[in-house]
Structure 1
Amino acid sequence: MFVLVNGLIAGLGLAAFLALGDGLFETSTFPVLIDVSYVPGMENLPSIAELLIHLFISVIIAFFLMYFYPRDNRGKTIRYLLCWMLAFAVAFLPFSLLSKVQMTWTAFFIWVLGHLLYTMMLSIQVARNR
């Protein structure tokens, strides 16, 4: 239950942050986050269904991030979280290309900041519940 709740909250926080960033800076990071039109059979899903898929994936990511979270060494924890952040940052390129969204440095920066927020929300919850 802990992973489900925190995965949903962090996923909603990420979606809200990217939508806000898109509104303020005229980027398209939120559509990159939820777009699944490149998956066969999911070409014409409504946006709410795409958001629910994103939240489901967020819960799965939260499970793995929390399950393997190092609990004994601060240095290992920082390296672990940096690896997740690197994976999230690298994911921007293929998801942008698959979504056919224009890639800009501003969009990439918003994407990375949003995923930093996501990672921080989950890591704070893990630290609180040790």
Structure 2
Amino acid sequence: MFILVNGLIAGLGLAAFLALGDGLFDTQTFPVLIDLSYVPGMENLPSIVELLIHLLISVIIAFFLMHFYPRERGAGSFKYLGIWMLGFAVAFLPFSLLSNTPMTWLAFLIWVLGHLLYTIMLAIQVGRNR
């Protein structure tokens, strides 16, 4: 239950941050996050269904991030979270290309900051739970 709740909260936080960034800076990071039109059979899903799928993926990611989180505090935790952040940052390129959305440095920055927020939210909850 802990992972489910925290995965949903962090996923909603990420979605809200990207939507806010899109509204403020006219970028297209939120559609990159939820777009599934490139998956066969999911071309015409309503946005709310795409968001729910994103939240399911968020819970799965939260499970793995929290399950394998290093027991010791310090440099090991930062390295572990840094690897997750690198993965999230790299994911922007293929998802942008698949979603046919314009790639800009500003959109990439918002994407990275949003995923940093996501990672920090989960790391804080792991720290509080231990």
Identity of matched residues, %: 80
Point out the more displaced range, 65-74 or 10-19.
65-74
Unaligned 5+ residue runs, structure 2? none
Residue 37 of structure 2: aligned partner: 37
Residue 21 of structure 2: aligned partner: 21
Unaligned 5+ residue runs, structure 1? none
Query: Could you tell me which amino acid in structure 1 is paired with residue 89 of structure 2?
Result: A
Deviation at 1:73, TM superposition (A): 3.8
Query: Could you tell me which amino acid in structure 2 is paired with residue 104 of structure 1?
Result: T
- 2:79 pairs with 1:71: no
* TM-score, structure 2 normalization: 0.99
Distance 2:72 2:56 in 1: 29
Query: Could you tell me which amino acid in structure 2 is paired with residue 18 of structure 1?
Result: L
Distance 1:50 1:126 in 2: 27
Deviation at 1:72, TM superposition (A): 1.2
RMSD: 0.4
Question: Cα deviations across residues 11-53 of structure 1 (Å, max 9, x unaligned)?
Answer: 0000000000000000000000000000000000000000000
Aligned length: 130
Query: Could you tell me which amino acid in structure 1 is paired with residue 101 of structure 2?
Result: V
Query: Could you tell me which amino acid in structure 2 is paired with residue 5 of structure 1?
Result: V
